[in-house]
Amino acid sequence: MRLAYVNSSKYSNVKEVLKAEFSMSDRLLLKLKKLDKIYLNGNVTSVNHPVLENNLIECYLDYEEDNSNIVPTEMPLNIIYEDEAYIVVNKPAGIPVHPSMDHYTDSLSNGIAFYFNQIGLKKKIRPVNRLDKDTSGIVIFAKNEYIQECLVRQMKSKEFIKKYIAVVNGNLDNLEGTINAPIARKEGSIIERCVSETGDIAITHYKVLKRKTDFDIVECILETGRTHQIRVHFAYLGHSLLSDTLYGTSSSLINRQALHAYKVEFTHPLSKKKVKYIATVPEDLNKLMENA
């Protein structure tokens, strides 16, 4: 991947250009400098080199990285979209995003590592967002450090929109609303979260799409991205997600928490155009929704 900028008169050196035009971190700047991947008018240059008007500044992110820390595992991938910057995958429920002691070779990252090997891409595995193991839906993997920085920065702002479909027990008091309740780790647990005055700010907007006697089908938009945010917020309202056994009870209607990350919207880091990706609702959740 190549980043390029023709200098205007407002910048005095290469570093100023890369920081201002590409919001590049100091860590990435240092790495590109060490790898001789920064060019001025076609020649390798230093970040402190002065620049003149109409000078061409280029960065190349085609360097290889060691990703041997993640075991490549062949698995079917439902790829929604892919380009030189990132890959968007519709993750099925039942597999985690990251490897762990219990899922050392069967996480989504293991599958992406295998896929990268197949296409000859020697890069670290960089999931931009995360989903719980039993939540299905969109996961984005950046293909290099620069794209990861860009997307993570957007996720911390309101530019990056994440929408979910959830099925909650019972009927909510309001057909739409906002849950503004801080979330913290539950005392004595390494997994469970709870609403707490001492927690981090957490905001979930919701709208009931369809109502049945025993449950509501809800669209959720996250303004923040706390661990288990949707699950904790609806449990806090007394309407836990269907079959969420950590914050509620199991259900015969579906054998995992009824939650799907179905849509993301953000600005493409390279084209600067607004993009939108939609993940098809999986069969188990779709069956539940159609029968409502």
Domain residues of the chain, as ranges?
2-60, 64-156, 161-261
pTM of the complete model: 0.94
Asked if the domains at 2-60 and 161-261 fall in one CATH topology, the answer is: no
Residue 159's pLDDT band (boundaries 50, 70, 90)?
confident
pLDDT for res 292: 62
**CB-based contact 38:14 (threshold 8 Å):** yes
Alpha carbon distance 128, 86 (integer Å): 9
Contact between residue 128 and residue 201 where contact means Cβ atoms under 8 Å apart = no
Which is it for the CA torsion 149, 107, 243, 284, positive or negative?
positive
Among 166, 199, 163, which Cα is nearest to 181's? 199
Write down the residue that tokens 């259900």 correspond to: 251
What pLDDT shows up at residue 11?
92
* pLDDT of 205 strictly over 80: yes
Phi/psi for 113 (5° steps) reads: -60, -45
What's the rounded Cα separation, in Å, for the pair 166 and 218?
5
Q: What is the CA radius of gyration of the chain?
A: 22
Question: Could you tell me what percent of the chain has a pLDDT over 70?
Answer: 100
The answer to whether 173 is a known catalytic residue is: no
Distance CA 135, CA 192 (A): 16
- Distance of alpha carbon 10 from its chain centroid, rounded? 34
Which of 227, 231, 240 has its CA nearest to residue 185?
227
CA 175, CA 263: separation in Å to the nearest integer?
A: 21
Q: Which fold has domain 161-261?
A: Pseudouridine synthase (3.30.2350)
The per-residue pLDDT for range 30-64, each reduced to its tens digit, is: 999 999 999 999 999 999 999 999 999 999 999 99
Tokens of 25: 């971190």
Residue 24 tokens read as: 């590049």
| pLDDT at residue 283, as a whole number | 95
CA atoms of 277 and 282, how far apart (whole Å): 15
What's the pLDDT at 154?
95
Question: 220 - beta bridge partners?
Answer: 164, 206
Longest C-alpha distance within the chain, in Å?
69
Cα–Cα distance between 142 and 111 in angstroms, integer?
14
- Record: fold of 64-156: Pseudouridine synthase (3.30.2350)
What is the structure's pLDDT at 291? 74
Q: Which residue has the higher pLDDT, 135 or 158?
A: 135
Instruction: Give me the pLDDT at residue 9, please.
Output: 77
The catalytically annotated residue of 83, 102, 106, 132 is 132
What is the CATH T-level fold of the domain 2-60, as seen in this structure? 3.10.290
